[in-house]
Each structure stands twice: as structure tokens, then as C-alpha cells.
Structure 1
Amino acid sequence: MEVHDIRLSVFGTPAAAASARRRLVAAIRDWGLPAGSEPLHVAELMAGELLSNAVQHAGPGAVTVTARCDGNAIRVEVSDSSRDLPRTRSPSQDDEHGRGLSIVAALADRYGTEPTTSGKRCWAEVGLQAVSSPEVALPVPLPRRRP
């Protein structure tokens, strides 16, 4: 498989982040990955979580999302202007936020954050080999639905 990449710059709003995630996944599908493939679903979830974190914590400035596939893995990167590096949290069962990095950590084969000259970059990679288990154990509790 040849190397593919896409880079999108969006304004840091929830609607723009959702649109960027959809465009990113459509581009990855165009690279020849089957629509129902596990790595495609994982890349979509990772992109959604990283974009959501950027919008929520970095404010309304520009956010850049990049995806790259080298034939072995899909790497998703999200860059924003905040210099504050994210950290995993331990939310309670009733908290509605705070699980993004834990979800990325559970799904990704590799992930990380790094400062840049203009802010930070958060990234995650998933290999193109079959994912070993359809169930992922998250290290933090999910919120309970309220009646």
C-alpha cells in the first residue's frame, strides 16, 4: 500500500470538529480500507476523541487534524494552540467528561502528546493488522444514564 495523508485545518468548534472527523474518515476510506474495517473504526474514534479534546480544552482557535497511512498503521494527529498538555483523569461514574485520553489509550497501539512551537500535538496510531479483541476494557468508569 502506498503512503497516504490528509491534513485539515478547522475552527475549534464542536460542529467543525464533527465535520473534520467525517471528512477524515471519508478520505481514509478512499485510501482503500474497507468501510467496515476495525482499523478504520478505531481511527475514527481516536480522531473524534482527540478533536473533541482540542475543542473543549484549547478554545475556539484553529485546530489541525492530520491522518497518515503508511501501509502498516494509521496515525491521527491533532494540533492546537494551547500549550497545556492533556493528562488522563479518573472521573467518577456520574462525570460526563474526562474519558477521552483513556479511550484513546485503550484503542491505540501507540499514542502520545508533545509540545510544538505553536502549542501542542496529540497523536495516536492503530496498526492495520486485525485488532485482537472486539471488546475494550476502559480503565475508567462510563457515566450512568440518568432517567
Structure 2
Amino acid sequence: MKLIIINGPNLSLLGKREPEIYGANSFDTFFKELQQKFENIELAYFQSNIEGEIIDKLHEVGFNYDGIILNAAAYTHTSVGIGDAVKGIETPVIEVHISNVHSRETFRHVSYIAGNAKGVISGFGLQSYTLAIQSFLE
């Protein structure tokens, strides 16, 4: 099985940015743990703060991967383009959020991705990614 995690803006700051919301671990450290835990899966990772790069990556992998785990971060609530990219590809996408976006500011309650995603996982910290991987295995 071939899966990719795509992270959006500011997620490169995990472990430093608002640890009370996002935790104290960097994503690079967590990704290594995921690779060890799911050693039978070909697991890739991509992060960008740039909307167009995220769209380009979705186009690149959206026809030859078994699954995409997408945390578009703030772009979730603003990017029609990323939502359209998810709609336009064949690979199933699970939208993931570290925090419970529905317990935060009202603007975070809107997702331009969710309607085109296989599912949404929100509010379980970094374990949201683990749950997404497990959903592809079942």
C-alpha cells in the first residue's frame, strides 16, 4: 500500500507553534514513528506553505497512490482550489486536523475539502494521522 501525508501551512512549526493546541512533537519526529509503526506501508510525506504547491502535489499523486491524508491547515477553510483538486483526482483523500476545528473559531467550521473527501478526522492530536492510516488498512 502506498500512502502520502500532505500537510499545509504552518505545520512545519509543529512542536514550536502553540503547543497547547498542536502538541510538543515535531512532525518529522512523528513521521518517523509512523514509518516504524506501519513498516509494511510505503509512506511518503510532503509539506508546503504554498497553496499551489499543495494542488500540484495532489495532481502528481492523485492517480497512482492508494490514499492521501491531507491536512490543508488554514487552506481547508479558504481554498476552493484545493477542494477542486481533491474532487478532480481518483485517489481517496482523508481530511485530517490535529485540533477539533469545531471547538475553535467559527470560520474553521467550514471545509472546502470535506465534501470531496472519503472522510474527516479531527481533534485527536497527531493520532488523527494514525487513525487515517488505519482507515485505509480496513
- Return the TM-score normalized by structure 2: 0.32
Task: Give the TM-score taking structure 1 as reference length.
Answer: 0.30
The structure where helix makes up a greater share of residues is 2
Query: Which structure shows the higher strand fraction?
Result: 1
